[in-house]
Structure 1
Amino acid sequence: MSIKDSCYGTTPGAKGDKGGEDPQITREETGAPEMITETPRRTRILKTITAVATLFLLAVSLTHVLVVFLHVAPANSVSQRYNKQINAWVYPLFEQNWRLFAPNPESVNYRISARTMRTSADGTQQVSDWFDLSAVDESAVRHSVFPSHTEQNMLRRAWSSYLELHGGDDQPHSRRAWMMQQYLSNISAQRVAAHRHGSFEDIQLRVTVRPVPTSAGGAGSRPAAAPAPDNIRYLPWWKATWKVAPYAG
């Protein structure tokens, strides 16, 4: 080793004057240009996807606000012209209820149960026991620190709307009544499937109407009336499609 080599920090056998780096290795061999080019390309793709998704969500949000506004606004030529499309979007998921600060007190309790039916391999029909759907809702509320208001009232609201549109007749006479029947059937089928194993093809609901007893008054007042007997209503068997079937009306 010479004095010049020791002063400049070179070692014997080192190639070039850059600390042993082989000058014959070029950038093309290391692939650096490809990496530098690939990174901006991926960035542009991600930015494009983000922009498209943002525009799509913004369009859906604006459409939803506009449709709901036309639904709650007084009758006008636009809402009357597109009444069918507005109702198809709003009902039954985005229904508006203005009785928030003055609700109607419930005078009866509804207990909704469901049973399912399936066809076995030999062609026989097997019917399950009744499953209490209302008890599932009550258990979810009691055992949850932050119970969901939507899940708590979903089944009850679906039944109230069904009763309002059908009355004592279980045949849908309008598109909205048919949609509510599908909605009630889908909710019930999904909840049964979530708590019971095995497949099924049809589902039937049983609704027990239990009047709320009146409270007894003070001294000297009229005694509370005897509670009325429960009223049980059986709905027809429905196909458990779990989705909206075509309207046949």
Structure 2
Amino acid sequence: MDSYDDRGVESGNRNAGPGPGRGENMASDTVQGPGPGPGPGARGGGMAALSLPYQIAASIALSVIGLVACVQLAMVFLHVAPANTLTKQHGEAVDEWIYPEFEQNWKLFAPNPLQQNVAVHVRAEIVGADSRRTTPWMSLSGEDGRAIRGNLLPSHIHQNELRRGWDFYIGSHDNENRANGLRGELSERYIRRIAMARLSEHDYGGTVERIQIRSETRSVAAPGWSDEKISTKPSYRVLPWWTVTSADLPENAEGADK
């Protein structure tokens, strides 16, 4: 039996009748189950998020990078390892891979750290229409230094060509500048070509007939905290004058040895 309050509002079961009760509606409004899971086409992160062609391309690229890294490690190991069967049979291939970009040089460390600064200079005898004159000494090492300083990606030529060429010459000549066999003659041609390539970048108003090269060696000064006294005065090694031939010119040097 229904009853009425003083306002005439029925106070009985107001949820009576078909359909869910009020309590059921409240529960359905506040309690929700887990949302729908990822569909069958959903992808994860990383390479899985790429389409199939891009996945294939990425896999190939990673495989190539990994292969090159393994070859690099193997070549460096063979280069620094003591002589063995592999290096005796394939030493030339190892050297071609290592030099010049990956050369291993321990001169920075003991027991034989670099203690001198060596600069290479050149001067030329110029023959003009009605005169002959000798240019002042030009520092080839100084030009290389200016090209390297402040350059984030310096050229290998500016870094090592002249330095290695001069080391090659010193190692194949005695103190009287006499060549020790064919390597000495080869080093002379190499140095002349380097000098002529640099001189060709300047206009001296005539033809370069002869060149002369010298080295300037200065000892590295002791650090400020050291009491050691080291003379930094330069010492020079002056080579004889060389007559320039057509094979020494940059435009002819490439085919000179063929």
TM-score under structure 2 length normalisation = 0.51
Q: CA deviation at 1:162?
A: 1.1
Corresponding residue of 1:238: 242
Identity of aligned residues (%): 27
Corresponding residue of 1:37: none
Is 2:211 the counterpart of 1:200?
A: no
Q: Any stretches of 5+ residues in structure 1 without a counterpart?
A: 1-68, 80-85
Contact 1:213/1:227, CA 8 A, preserved across alignment: yes
> Of the candidates 203, 217, 231, which is equivalent to residue 227 of structure 1?
231
- Worse-superposed segment, 199-208 or 96-105: 96-105
> Of the candidates 91, 99, 110, which is equivalent to residue 105 of structure 2?
99
Corresponding residue of 2:172: 165
Partner Cα separation in structure 2 for residue 211 and residue 101 of structure 1 = 15
Partner of 2:152, secondary structure, is coil
Q: CA deviation at 1:213?
A: 1.4
Amino acid at match of 2:236: I
1:16-95 correspondence runs (5 A)? none
Contact 1:112/1:207, CA 8 A, preserved across alignment: yes
Q: CA deviation at 1:172?
A: 1.3
> Of the candidates 144, 148, 152, which is equivalent to residue 145 of structure 1?
152
Is 2:137 the counterpart of 1:130?
A: yes
Structure 1 pair 75/235, CA: closer, same or farther in 2 (3 Å)?
A: farther
Partner Cα separation in structure 1 for residue 107 and residue 230 of structure 2 = 31
Amino acid at match of 2:222: T
Partner of 2:201, secondary structure, is helix
Q: CA deviation at 1:236?
A: 0.9
Partner Cα separation in structure 2 for residue 74 and residue 135 of structure 1 = 38
Amino acid at match of 2:229: A
Contact 1:131/1:192, CA 8 A, preserved across alignment: no
Partner Cα separation in structure 2 for residue 101 and residue 111 of structure 1 = 17
Contact 1:217/1:224, CA 8 A, preserved across alignment: no
Contact 2:126/2:208, CA 8 A, preserved across alignment: yes
Partner Cα separation in structure 1 for residue 165 and residue 120 of structure 2 = 11
Give the number of equivalent residue pairs. 163
Corresponding residue of 1:209: 217
Corresponding residue of 1:117: 125
Structure 1 pair 148/129, CA: closer, same or farther in 2 (3 Å)?
A: same
Structure 1 pair 131/153, CA: closer, same or farther in 2 (3 Å)?
A: same
Contact 2:145/2:158, CA 8 A, preserved across alignment: no
Partner of 2:154, secondary structure, is coil
Contact 1:216/1:224, CA 8 A, preserved across alignment: no
Structure 1 pair 125/95, CA: closer, same or farther in 2 (3 Å)?
A: farther
Amino acid at match of 1:231: S
Partner of 2:163, secondary structure, is helix
TM-score under structure 1 length normalisation = 0.53
Q: CA deviation at 1:99?
A: 2.6
- Say which structure, 1 or 2, has more relative contact order (CA 8 Å, 6+ apart): 1
Q: CA deviation at 1:94?
A: 6.8
Structure 1 pair 238/170, CA: closer, same or farther in 2 (3 Å)?
A: same
Structure 1 pair 148/227, CA: closer, same or farther in 2 (3 Å)?
A: same
